[in-house]
């Protein structure tokens, strides 16, 4: 699974609204299509906003996805 898919899948588990933005553009964090059209290649600075009843839990889980990205889990491997 690519980072956008992982982020959307984790965000979808929560009731809270998740918004991901960069440089004047924003996307629904629960929509893989929205995230893909955000146009944020690796290394892009993103802002994640979470609002709702389970916001802290959602934010913690989303931070875990970003940690996985930083660890290189989603990098394509040459076979």
Which tens digit of pLDDT belongs to each residue from 59-71? 999 999 999 988 9
- Domain membership flag for residue 28: yes
Within-domain flag for 75 = no
* Residue scoring higher pLDDT (68 or 79): 68
Q: Could you tell me the CATH number of the domain that includes residue 11?
A: 3.30.1340.10
pLDDT at 77 over 80: no
Could you tell me if residue 50 is inside a domain?
Answer: yes
Bridge partners of 50?
18
Q: Which pTM value belongs to this model?
A: 0.88
Task: Return d(Cα 34, Cα 19) in angstroms, integer.
Answer: 10
Q: In terms of residue numbers, what domain contains 18?
A: 3-70
Establish if 22 belongs to a structural domain.
yes
Mean pLDDT, residues 32-49 taken together: 92
Helix (H) or strand (E) run with residue 56 in it = helix 55-70
Q: Is residue 18 part of a domain?
A: yes
Is 29 a domain residue? Answer: yes
Please state the domain count of the chain.
Answer: 1
Dist CA 57 CA 79 (whole Å)? 37
Query: Does residue 56 lie within any of the structural domains?
Result: yes
């Amino acid at each position: 699974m690519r980072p956008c898919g992982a982020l959307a899948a984790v965000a979808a588990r929560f009731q809270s609204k998740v918004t991901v933005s960069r440089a004047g553009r924003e996307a629904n964090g629960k929509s893989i299509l929205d995230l893909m059209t955000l146009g944020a290649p690796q290394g892009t600075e993103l802002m994640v906003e979470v609002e709702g009843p389970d916001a802290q839990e959602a934010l913690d889980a989303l931070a875990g996805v970003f940690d996985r990205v930083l660890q290189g889990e989603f990098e394509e491997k040459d076979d």
